[in-house]
Amino acid sequence: MSYKIPMGPYHPGLEEPYKLDMICEGETVQDAELNIGFNFRGIEHLAETRNYYQVIALMERVCGICSFIHTLTLCQAMEKLAGLEAPPRAKYIRVVMSELERLHSHVLWAGIAAKLMGFKTMFMTCFALREKVMDVLQAISGNRVNYSMNRVGGVNRDVEDPSSLLPLIDELEREMMRTVIPIFTTSSTARSRCAGIGVLTPEKAVSCAVVGPTARASGINQDLRRDAPYAAYAEMKFEVPVEKAGDVRARLFVRALEIMESCRILRQALTDMPPGEVSVGGDKFNFVTGTATSRVEAPRGEVIYSVSWKEGSRNPARVHVRTPTYANMPAVRWMVRGARLADTPLIQASIDPCYSCTDR
């Protein structure tokens, strides 16, 4: 006899409000239906009522964890409309902030995954490391969450002494190598809760058009930092971790390996940062009539901004955002099929969902 189990829209196993209706036979999930839209903030509409300074502050609040990535994508689109290019030093600073934000997101996700496994000690370890990442972000920007770093034509603040941040990066890398990665990769708890759970095959990943670590854990070798480089990524040497199993453990491995690659990129960017200005200067910009798009590789995957402008206006005519969670959400249905009911909170968390990004 089949029955329906609703998980959400408010549930201890869910990060944010959405609903997963699961059709079960006994303890096995046969099918699921995903429902979103329980919140509506109207950010895209509000963007049409803000000038080009205010819209940056607004879009920084689309997501608290990826606030820098959102303003970077927005500013790159507006720079196309204004015919501007950020100075080389600003591009390096953008890489530094982007990779620190990736570290923050991945370590935070690892802590949440540990909590859902019942691995409370690992949860506390991950959140202690998260504090160290946020200390570095605060040292650069003065803020722990919304950094106010990006502007049209560059960044607002310089990194006065890049070499002084290298010991902090080294410490983060040592802690990851010494504790987080060995425990997640060798622990019997992590193996029993993650291996073979929530499998998304490469074929289904392609048909669902998933992005980011979710795609790379299913064998799809794609990363905009390498395939369509922006900021100073074309000058960075790094590997793109790819796993083929497509299960929760593979998604965990990909993020763990990306943490190490982020430390590698940060070391290059801080060591090789060129001298010079951090913005093109000036407070007034002339935007041409038209639409510009920008794509970046956020911690969860590809973010796309489409910005439309009418010449002579201080406000954008339209700002449209496509976030990685929006692309990855439909795949949850296929991940939970055939899974045990008790595993579904961890499976849905394995895509690192951000529903504040989605319910805009």
pLDDT in tens, 304-324: 999 999 988 889 999 999 999
Compute how many other C-beta atoms are within 10 angstroms of the C-beta atom of residue 65: 19
Helix, strand or coil for residue 173? helix
pLDDT of residue 16: 66
Average pLDDT on 5-9 reads 80
Give pLDDT tens digits for 272-311: 999 999 999 777 788 999 999 999 999 999 999 999 999 8
Question: Is 60 exceeded by the pLDDT of residue 90?
Answer: yes
pLDDT of residue 276: 92
Q: At what angle do helices 166-175 and 248-271 cross, to 10 degrees?
A: 160
Report d(CA 204, CA 72) in Å as an integer.
31
Average pLDDT on 154-177 reads 88
Question: Is 90 exceeded by the pLDDT of residue 110?
Answer: no
Average pLDDT on 241-267 reads 92
Residue 94's nearest CA partner among 139, 52, 157, 145 is 157
Report d(CA 247, CA 236) in Å as an integer.
29
pLDDT, mean over the chain = 89
| Helix or strand (DSSP H, E) at 304 | strand 301-309
Question: Is 90 exceeded by the pLDDT of residue 192?
Answer: no
Least confident of 101-115, 173-187, 287-301: 173-187
pLDDT of residue 14: 60
Task: Give this prediction's pTM.
Answer: 0.93
pLDDT of residue 52: 87
51-335 CATH pick, 3.40.47.10, 1.10.1520.10, 1.10.645.10, 1.10.1530.10: 1.10.645.10
Question: Is 70 exceeded by the pLDDT of residue 15?
Answer: no
pLDDT of residue 12: 60
Going by pLDDT thresholds of 50, 70 and 90, the confidence category of residue 126 is: confident
Q: Per DSSP, what are the bridge partners of residue 110?
A: none
Question: Is 60 exceeded by the pLDDT of residue 158?
Answer: yes
Compute how many other C-beta atoms are within 10 angstroms of the C-beta atom of residue 131: 10
Strand 301-309 with 318-322, pairing: antiparallel
Average pLDDT on 178-207 reads 84
Going by pLDDT thresholds of 50, 70 and 90, the confidence category of residue 226 is: very high
pLDDT of residue 305: 96
Report d(CA 145, CA 147) in Å as an integer.
6
Give pLDDT tens digits for 38-78: 778 889 999 999 998 899 999 998 888 889 999 999 999 99
Question: Is 70 exceeded by the pLDDT of residue 171?
Answer: yes
